[in-house]
Structure 1
């Protein structure tokens, strides 16, 4: 279903801007949505580029500003509509590709890490550690003072990559005990991995689930450990706590400027080859963020 079509240029409405897109972040939820749909569906995603037009009430944004943010529909396009509440200015020393790889994935990683309430010296396990979000979550754990940071990946060829990002140890999903126990687990996989993840928690441990993979857990497993499971979705923060969302965005760029956070781009793929980008994600081949470029 991923075919290019020529359509009219959209016009921004109240509180919106029109972005001339330079880069689009490919996400696993978007890939799943395209795969599972019975008919063509609009795909949202992170976009970055220059504002080409503004709607009424665009506030602090003007034509010519370089921005990045989450577009909820029709992100795979040369022009995309972006709500100003989701928009963030791109520093002059950053590219659109870096911005689209850093901001949304970084916000999710930041939020999941905070939801886990990690205390200095505690152990942290990050699943999907080689993904766009996972690679940044590892860096957050390292910068946040975790005593032991472990990366969980699906294949051995990703081990060196996650070690360079701060992992003390690397384990495979198929490993027997996952190197347990852990004080906090940041899970970006879901599905059948939720069971082993809960069983790898220490007494009083916290599992933060932020993936679109679904899955269920046995309440008894949580009771047995006095542990908790927390669901995290970035959209809830963006609309429910906009002041927190804005503060986290500022912190992202500050950490990046200080060298404490680095967005890794697996590959830049032309927009017209979006199907190839989706295949990279589906086959779990990416080391970092997959980005479409216009």
Structure 2
């Protein structure tokens, strides 16, 4: 089979195709013939920061080929999606059965990788903010694979005003088309009228203006891999809060919650109330180009690899 290999740090040019044996599923694992791979910012960052060969994991969707020892609830021929922790940029990948969820009949693999993992992150971050109907929301990285879903979910959960924060004003039409009332760019000194909660997928230096954009008693949910710090005084003066959210912790410790979110996401998508946007589909051999799009923050929605 083919898989994408990462050799050395320094940028997307270090990705290349290699031949590798089809892996054998171990206890509790599924062997999946991969139909689509969702490219994520954490994986792109890993390529740029690591200094040795590492497997490129990611969101995958495809058909179950065989089962490892002890697997129940799945069968060859099932279509599933989930997060592959080993090599995911490949024709075949291993998926922990506990991380695999079914793809509904009639749904594409591309829809699955664009909706489920990114949607659960967006849904979970929103739940962590404890939104009340009529409150206002601000979503950073609002045109991203997660952000464009978070923007829509905030409205679906009762937000009276949704502000989209983006890196480039050229993304304004896209996020407005998804329901954003206002659009701001990160370089603005003032982010406009304060909001009740912020869903932040960027981190770093953006945390300071994001906290400043909160109304008194506002909440910022940080779910970025970008790090950053918040000054305690900035929280004290407005009785504001910062809440951390990590999807992996929910998937491991609260699988029933993750499953409930997944079911609702598919329902909202099937009803046409939650739109999935795919920026581009790349062939497996063009993984470096897909990483360039994510690294440049130029995507409008999800970026997907098609083996």
Equivalent in 166, 173, 186 of residue 199 of structure 2: 186
Distance 1:261 1:224 in 2: 37
Equivalent in 241, 244, 257 of residue 228 of structure 1: 241
Q: Deviations over 1:76-107 (max 9, x none)?
A: 11100001111111111111011111000000
Equivalent in 34, 37, 52 of residue 50 of structure 2: 37
Aligned partners of 1:34 and 1:40 also within 8 Å: no
The residue number in structure 1 matching 2:268 is 255
Alignment of 1:1-294 (within 5 A): 1-294=14-307
Alpha-carbon offset, residue 40 of structure 1: 2.2
Q: TM-score, normalised by structure 1?
A: 0.99
Distance 1:16 1:73 in 2: 11
Alpha-carbon offset, residue 180 of structure 1: 3.4
Distance 1:93 1:168 in 2: 33
Q: TM-score, normalised by structure 2?
A: 0.95
Gaps of 5+ in 1: none
Aligned partners of 1:46 and 1:75 also within 8 Å: yes
Give the alignment's Cα RMSD to 1 decimal. 0.7
Gaps of 5+ in 2: 1-13
Report SS of the residue matched to 2:19.
Answer: coil
Alpha-carbon offset, residue 263 of structure 1: 1.3
